[in-house]
Amino acid sequence: MLRKPFLAISLVVISFQAIAEMKPPVAPVAAKEFSEHGSKRVDNYYWLRQRDNPEVITYLEAENAYADEMLKHTAALQEKLYQEMKGRIKETDLSVPVRRDEFYYYTRTFEGKQYSVSCRKKGGLDAAEEVILDQNELAAGKSYFRLGGSEVSPNHQLLAYSTDTNGSEVYTLVVKDLATGKLLADEIPNTYYGTEWGNDNKTLFYTTLDAAKRPYKLWRHVLGTATAQDVCVHEEKDETFSVGVGKTRSRKFLLLTLHSTMTTEVRFLDADQPGGAFAVIQPRTKDLEYSVDHRDGSFYIVTNDSARNFRVMTAPIEHPGKENWKELISHRPSVKVEDVDLFARWLVVHERDQGLKKLYVRNLESGKDHYVDFNEAVYTYFAGGNEEFNTNMLRFTFSSMTTPPSVYDYNMETHSRELLKQEEVLGGFDASRYTSERIFAKAPDGTNVPMSLVYRKGMQRDGKNPTLLYGYGSYGAPMDPGFSSGRVSLLDRGFIYALAHIRGGGDIGRPWYEDGKLLKKKNTFTDFIACGEHLVAEKYTNPGRLAIMGGSAGGLLMGAVTNMRPDLFKAVVAQVPFVDVINTMLDASIPLTTLEYDEWGNPNDKAYYDYMLSYSPYDNVAKKPYPNLLIRAGLNDPRVAYWEPAKWCAKLRAMKTDDNLLLLKTNMGAGHGGASGRFDRLREVALDYAFILDRVGITE
């Protein structure tokens, strides 16, 4: 592949005069020619990658100013939406305490505060409260703040935590003495998510990033020693793999996980001997995936070995290789094993059957088993807060599109459950006013694609309802039908909210994912279009009142379907959209590129290059009308670089033949997730909703 230099560069300072006249900024053209696989490709806006070029920043700021001006008439609506959403939040609140040994850990939030406060009590819930970390203090004076992770030492005396202050997802790791409240001298920059303690309370394992922001090294640090003396436990030289670290629930073993999109290798180390060497459970084998936990002399392994939808195996610790794996739960073609929670006496299996999550429980001593009963047709749950190994209690959070998150303790022995807390939704919310349903659209190849819908009771299918259709459809990530208090602001204005469970996601097991990736990626887009067409055909809505939304890989979805069927949608919100597929996947220096060849394909292979080029949103912009578009970006985004949405917007401005709104909003101080504070995030949601409401003709 040969990359040629710029053919022409004629950058001009972008004037804000256009803003005053309500004319959109126009990005200068600076053509760059590429020669790939025997053909030539020209990119007129490649120059926008030059982050250090002042004219790039000027262009982004001009787009921000233009967007603000064009949405100025919605300012009152934005404020009303913000106040509504904020008014549903119980600002002063606390989470359900999680027991670990003799301590109970929980978080608090306070009225007017953007971030949570981590607390604990020793001995019982009536004991004195101890504040161990106040994120509001750490965030003071900063425009952005995010906690990367926090791990209390096994003896509960130290807290290791990491922070990011610009949205780049590059964290600085520090250690706090919980007795004195002071930081130790140990400070480690350039770390990533994931930190674990050895059981000696002085050995800390952490990962660091390479130039492409790939976590590629695992380090061992001993408190009180210089970081220059830290030992590199593992360096991952295969650029398609990343490094992670964890610990079994039994707290017996540290786990080093090396993984690509489709292949895994796990290594283990006795946590009581953190200075030792990690041993391999099963060497990496292409397309073999597995995850590991421990109980009573055995590893419990969830794997796709001879099991497309995964199965559960056991292996002896002394000889854990695949040749010694024994089947505990067999493969079922229609049921995916997503994960397990392992306890001293219990195995909990998280399954997905026909798109719905199921909770299977087995007593490992008696062999008795059962499913946990959920009494709603459209719902989701997740397990969390299960720190204790020797227990009969399983904690999970249940929710649906009409039921706020509800935390339960479930007794696996008696099958009884206790509701510990349901998220309190203020502002007069009444769940009985809303209803949800699951419907199916038929894709062009005949596949039935499910959608989850929620709306106010009394909705009439007259083709006039404003509707927001949301989709993602990548990485095998399911989009489960959970609750959103912010979404109520749309429902109360007559909206139908529809969640499209399209291929490429994991909503209906592994085959559903595999049928929407690599050379089948276009199924994701045609599935989503089929969902939109079905909503119109069944008179839920019409194209003049149908808005769509998606972010990141879901932003790729937004770009692709907007190119394919611009007539079907009235408004599009594309959040940090991955739209410059070819350029990004040809550049191994960009974060995530090499890690994702198994997801999108490697464009250095002509077959994948041609296929990706055929759907890449940026490369397929054409001279035709487009819907109203609001595009969001983050200047410090390491996952989807700001220039992807910026270039896409610039090309759309030059090519589209309509007068619909095209707006680019770049958060100049944040990354992939947007604003970090809980109220600042609501401001961004309010703007997105105001844009949608305005474009579909709902005014206040």
- Residues annotated as catalytic are 552, 637, 672
CB-based contact 668:635 (threshold 8 Å) = yes
Alpha-carbon span 633 to 646, nearest angstrom:
8
CB-based contact 119:131 (threshold 8 Å) = yes
CB-based contact 598:240 (threshold 8 Å) = yes
CA-based angle 284:287:290, to the nearest 5? 65
Of 631, 548, 500, 687, nearest in space to 81 by CA: 687
What long-range pairs does 348-353 form, CB within 8 A, spacing at least 24? 348/383, 348/394, 348/412, 349/312, 350/383, 352/478, 352/506, 352/507, 352/508, 352/509
Alpha-carbon span 483 to 425, nearest angstrom:
11
Residue 15 carries which DSSP code?
A: P
Of 548, 606, 603, nearest in space to 577 by CA: 548
Of 480, 445, 391, 486, nearest in space to 687 by CA: 486
CB-based contact 608:518 (threshold 8 Å) = yes
Of 309, 287, 373, 313, nearest in space to 598 by CA: 287
CB-based contact 263:286 (threshold 8 Å) = yes
Beta carbons within 8 Å of 687's beta carbon, 6+ residues apart: 71, 74, 78, 665
Reported in sequence order, the residue ranges of 78-145 that DSSP labels E, i.e. its strands, are 93-94, 98-100, 103-109, 117-122, 129-134
User: What's CA 17's distance to the chain center, in Å?
Assistant: 39
Q: At residue 663, what is the residue type?
A: L
Q: At residue 245, what is the residue type?
A: V
Alpha-carbon span 631 to 633, nearest angstrom:
7
Q: Strands 546-551, 467-470: parallel, antiparallel or unpaired by DSSP?
A: parallel
Strand pairing partners for 27?
none
H or E element that contains 484? none
Alpha-carbon span 135 to 124, nearest angstrom:
24
